Amino acid sequence: MPQPFASIIVPSRNRNAHVQKCVAALLRMDYPADRFQIIVIDDDSRTPVFIPQALSEPLRVRVIRQPHAGPAAARNRGIASAKGPLLVFTDDDCRPHPDWLAKIAQAWSAAPSALIGGLTVNGLPGNAYAATSQFLVDYLYHYFAHNNPKQRFFTSNNLAGALDLLKSEAGFDATFPLPAAEDRDLCDRWRERGGGFVYLPDARVDHYHEMSFKGFLRQQFQYGRGASVLRARRSARCARYPIEPRAFYLKLFAAPFRSMHPIAAAQVSALLFVAQVCNVLGFFYQRQDRQMLPHRAMAQRAGG
């Protein structure tokens, strides 16, 4: 039985060197060359994305440029251009392992109505901010899988599902104001319609997210803003998702000490605390901003 044909979608903006390495890693995968395509969506980069393989192998690698609309809209553009029937998503700063697609295809063939999520590994272990960001995602994966399956989700840098089902869900919600929580929203909608989830820790990508302290603060603030929008979307669908108990956070801050050297664990735990503060600030900033929208609209009409 032939391997399912897969369309791999990679959104990119202003990271040409990263996306070239991502595509090179994808082309080295242990998967039949005629059974997958790579669609790079250039979200209006300052310098247009250039992928040499798109010229030499146009049937396997395609670059589509769009006006700047964010990664959710870019993924949706990829969905609209995909051959499928299997859609696979990763990010431009990720490099999948050689057996990544084969593992995903095998799992999807056994469960074609499920969302498939693989394991993302921090590719920059010397960067404390990248390490903490990935540690937080790993903690959420484990916590929700074992304690609260109703909120289980997969991040969009290592995600796969059926083309027809993702189209029926209208893909990612491109109205999220920032690249934050739109993947959680997709997983919510998938679960609410009865779809399943399959976690594949053997389907690995290395994530090279270079990050400074300022970038880390910005990321976590944006995640808080995304969480605020996510809660509003859930409320609009009358979907009930309770707030996590205090023990959730206490276990989060203690988790690094179970797997790291004490000094490194203390650093990561402190950054996790900072991340939660930024999340809260971003959450209430977004909620306040949303509440002010009607007043701004009225002021604009009065001024006009």
CATH of residue 138: 3.90.550.10
In this prediction, residue 288 carries a pLDDT of: 86
Looking up tokens 């995304």 gives: 226
Q: Please indicate, yes or no, if residue 188 is contained in any of the structural domains.
A: yes
Q: Please indicate, yes or no, if residue 195 is contained in any of the structural domains.
A: yes
Q: How far apart are CA 236 and CA 99, in angstroms?
A: 40
Domain count, the chain: 1
In this prediction, residue 304 carries a pLDDT of: 47
Q: Please indicate, yes or no, if residue 282 is contained in any of the structural domains.
A: yes
Residues of the chain below pLDDT 50? 293-304
In this prediction, residue 298 carries a pLDDT of: 39
Question: Which structural domain, as residue segments, surrounds residue 40?
Answer: 6-303
What are the pLDDT digits (tens) for 199-248?
999 999 999 999 999 999 999 999 999 999 999 999 998 888 888 899 99
Q: Please indicate, yes or no, if residue 1 is contained in any of the structural domains.
A: no
Burial of 301 (0-12, 13-18, 19+ CB in 10 A): exposed
In this prediction, residue 300 carries a pLDDT of: 41
- Of 6, 43, 8, 19, the residue nearest 158 (C-alpha): 8
In this prediction, residue 291 carries a pLDDT of: 59
Looking up tokens 């903690």 gives: 139
Residue type, 240: R
Q: How far apart are CA 203 and CA 120, in angstroms?
A: 8
Which backbone phi and psi does 73 adopt, to 5 degrees? Answer: -65, -35
Q: Please indicate, yes or no, if residue 55 is contained in any of the structural domains.
A: yes
